[in-house]
Structure 1
Amino acid sequence: MNTQDQTTRINGLDQAQMVQTIDAIKETPSLARFQFRARNTWIDGGENRSTIQDFYGAGREDDSRTTPFQFTNGEPPVLLGANEGANPVEFLLHALAGCVTTTFILHAAARGIQIRELATELDGDIDLQGLLGLDETVSPGYEQIRIKMHVQADCTDQELDDLMAYSREHSPVCNTVCRPVPVTVTRA
């Protein structure tokens, strides 16, 4: 077998492709500008469905997704739903877990750290008095979110701690949650 045909992979990522992507963005920074999109339709009660398919990235509209992803948002019965799907604040935990995990794996690969196992647990505290408008001093959002990462990796504890801190700082979803981000709501 020709050794040039072998792809060097670490943590499931193609290292040569990762270097090519980074080099392309360094050469043309505008390639790093992305716009992701979601469309949502109310179904009934607390049930609504989001569809995600198209996005702009790497200098063009992407057409690689021939089938849209669909996510049903629902509520548990105690919150007047019928468990049609996870509720939006649970989806936020899912998005945060996924983004921190992907960021962790990407930067581990860039550092040459082999990850053997990674599992993440998240929990968040929320007081529904804010959502319901019962107490204006209570925020309607999460009061605190805790992420616990269970990692087995071929590196020192210090390297692992550095990687975890770096991943928290560079995860797009974690960064979005941890700082104020302007959000506008308008009529179409």
Structure 2
Amino acid sequence: MTEPGNTLNGVDRDALNGTLEAVEKNPQLAQVTFTLGADWKGGCRQSSVTGSTRQAGATIDSRTARYTLESDEPAALLGSDTAASPGEYVLQALAGCYAVTFATHAASRGIELSALRLDMEVDFDLQGFLGLDEDTRPGAQEIRVTAHVESPNTPRESLRELTELVQRHSPIHDTLAREVRVSTSLA
């Protein structure tokens, strides 16, 4: 796959280097906040719309697009099966972040990716959610990812190292693997 200019894996390497330099000079630029508004639609359904994105406390004015995300549960899990489940969105969030992290870190190392597919599974034990067993956590028990990474000129060992690097540097992987403070307040 031929890419224009200094682009590799769909990543503009000049822009990547510019971002690295800018953040090294001004570490506050590394502080990014995403926002979302969510409305319950009855039953297990809800609809969310993305909001503003902030960097270093300032709204990124160039990002004006808003995206709608719908969620529901399968009928077997009390939903009406009209959209992806929150559990599937967890996998999507991780998949999306892995794709960004693979493409970016591969590009910064001069690794050309010809294909990337992620097979993903997440396990939940509903006893925790339903309050049937207070010793069972309601959250995910385990997430499994199999990365199918192809590169025309990169040895398998280098792809294995890239995969390990992705796990260490993926923000969503880190969010899921470590404790994160979540605060919820009643308006």
Which structure 1 residue ranges, 4+ long, deviate > 6 Å from structure 2? none
Whole-angstrom distance in 2 between the partners of 1:7 and 1:82: 48
Unaligned runs of 5+ in 2: none
Q: Does 1:61 align with 2:48?
A: no
2:182 match: 183
2:75 match: 77
Q: TM-score, normalised by structure 2?
A: 0.94
Whole-angstrom distance in 2 between the partners of 1:96 and 1:41: 23
Whole-angstrom distance in 2 between the partners of 1:24 and 1:74: 41
Q: 1:137 aligns with which of 135, 138, 142?
A: 135
What do the CA deviations read for 1:61-114 (whole angstroms, capped 9, x no partner)?
A: 013333310001101111121112111111001101111121011100000000
2:158 match: 159
1:146 match: 144
Q: Give, in angstroms, the shift of residue 60 of structure 1.
A: 2.4
2:113 match: 115
Q: 2:23 aligns with which of 22, 25, 30?
A: 25
Unaligned runs of 5+ in 1: 1-5
Whole-angstrom distance in 2 between the partners of 1:63 and 1:84: 33
Whole-angstrom distance in 2 between the partners of 1:33 and 1:94: 23
Code of the aligned partner of 2:46? N
SS at match of 2:101: helix
The count of residues paired between Structure 1 and Structure 2 equals: 183
Whole-angstrom distance in 1 between the partners of 2:14 and 2:57: 21
SS at match of 1:115: coil
SS at match of 1:83: coil
Q: Give, in angstroms, the shift of residue 58 of structure 1.
A: 5.2
Cα 1:39/1:113, change in 2 over 3 Å: same
Code of the aligned partner of 2:186? R
Code of the aligned partner of 2:140? Y
1:171 match: 170
Q: How well do the aligned residues superpose, as a CA RMSD in angstroms?
A: 1.2
Aligned-residue identity in percent: 37
Q: TM-score, normalised by structure 1?
A: 0.93
